[in-house]
Amino acid sequence: MVNLSVNLCGLRLDNPVIPASGCFGYGREFSEYYDINMLGSFSFKGTTLEPRFGNPTPRIAETPNGMLNAVGLQNPGVEHVIAHELPEMKRYFQKPVIANVSGFSIEQYVKTCELLNAQEQVGILEVNISCPNVHGGGMAFGTSADSAAAVTKAVKAVTTKPVFVKLSPNVTDIASIAKACEDAGADGLSLINTLLGMRIDLKTRKPILANTMGGLSGPAVFPIALRMVYQVYKAVKIPIMGMGGVSSARDVIEMMLAGATAVQVGAANLVNPFACKEIIEQLPEEMERYHITSLEEIIGMAGA
């Protein structure tokens, strides 16, 4: 018998597989395909203080082995999420969930996190300081160690639940930003968010995305994500949720060897709604193949 469970900041997860924010909505569409209670947890759609429609369309472009998105944090706002989405979610997902939060000022992050921290369904807060698709916020906080630390400190001051800070890969030295978040009190780190990219339509000679640029995800980014998880694991002591192009049970094991305690799956869910189910079902077989009895024992072993 192999052991898939992991301890994430005191939260015992049945397995380390967690659908990533923005690729799983509030879980409802996936619950029509399979019982999503088999997941370790999931990170629901990024929430802001006010409702947001997001960017104009086209918001999606295909890339070799991946995709670009420029959705721009479309969400109904934190009050609607608390009043409608969370009670609805309780019907099809009974485990603690991860609340992903974005903002355009430190005050907005604080207020939104405070409200979600008070919801008993929320097990972890994931503070997104790395969205590449919004202006005047999002990634701006995640590209300097000082502002990343400032957001972390302000959110930690008003919350009691574990706070994971979601980091941007669009930086020169991700380890120094990770360290700044740890020093400011972060309980964990999520990485990576998408990489800024673009495509141009040869017929119109204009960018495909209405927002010109968007975030690259999918298998194309996996080696970059893995490298960054490895670097950050060496730099900090707090747990890491590793993500970026993870598409198989083998990728999950590789991410954990690099230093991830839990592994998020993003774009793969959009191509195959059963992606996470299949990964969880394949994990025991892959573990046996590589003589792994407990996933927790392999965390960070690649650099040990």
Partner 1 sequence: MQYQIIENAQIAPNVFLLDLAGDTSMVTKPGQFCQIQLPGFYLRRPISICDWDENGMTLIYKVVGQGTDALSRMESGAVLDILNGLGNGYDVNTCGDRPLVIGGGVGTPPMYGLTKALMRAGKQPQVILGFNTYEEIFLLDEFEDLDIPVTVTTVDGSFGVKGFVTDALPADCDCFFACGPEPMLKAVYRKCDTPGQLSLEQRMACGFGACMGCSIQTNSGPKRVCKDGPVFRKEELPW
Kindly list the residues in this chain that would bind partner 1 in the complex (CB under 8 A).
22-25, 28-30, 45, 53-54, 57-67, 69, 71, 74, 208, 218-219, 267, 269-271, 273
DSSP states along 8-65? ETTEEESSSEEEPTTSSTTSHHHHTTS-GGGSS--EEEEE-SS-B--PPSP-EEEETT
Question: How far is it, in rounded angstroms, from Cα 76 to Cα 107?
Answer: 19
Q: How many CB atoms lie within 10 A of CB 247?
A: 21
276 catalytic residue (yes or no): no
Please name the residues in contact with 150: beta carbons below 8 A apart, sequence gap of 6 or more: 106, 141, 184
Task: State the minimum distance, in angstroms, from the CB of residue 300 to partner 1.
Answer: 30
Task: State the minimum distance, in angstroms, from the CB of residue 108 to partner 1.
Answer: 20
Q: Would you say 26 or 104 has its CB closer to partner 1?
A: 26
Task: State the minimum distance, in angstroms, from the CB of residue 63 to partner 1.
Answer: 7
Q: Would you say 130 or 152 has its CB closer to partner 1?
A: 130
Q: Would you say 171 or 268 has its CB closer to partner 1?
A: 268
Q: Would you say 113 or 267 has its CB closer to partner 1?
A: 267
Question: How far is it, in rounded angstroms, from Cα 241 to Cα 11?
Answer: 13
Task: State the minimum distance, in angstroms, from the CB of residue 66 to partner 1.
Answer: 6
Task: State the minimum distance, in angstroms, from the CB of residue 274 to partner 1.
Answer: 10
Question: How far is it, in rounded angstroms, from Cα 194 to Cα 247?
Answer: 15
Q: Would you say 76 or 300 has its CB closer to partner 1?
A: 76
Question: How far is it, in rounded angstroms, from Cα 159 to Cα 181?
Answer: 15
Q: Which of 9, 23, 113, 131 is catalytic?
A: 131
Pair 59, 211: CB distance under 8 Å = yes
Residue type at 71 in one-letter notation: V
Tell me the catalytic residues. 131
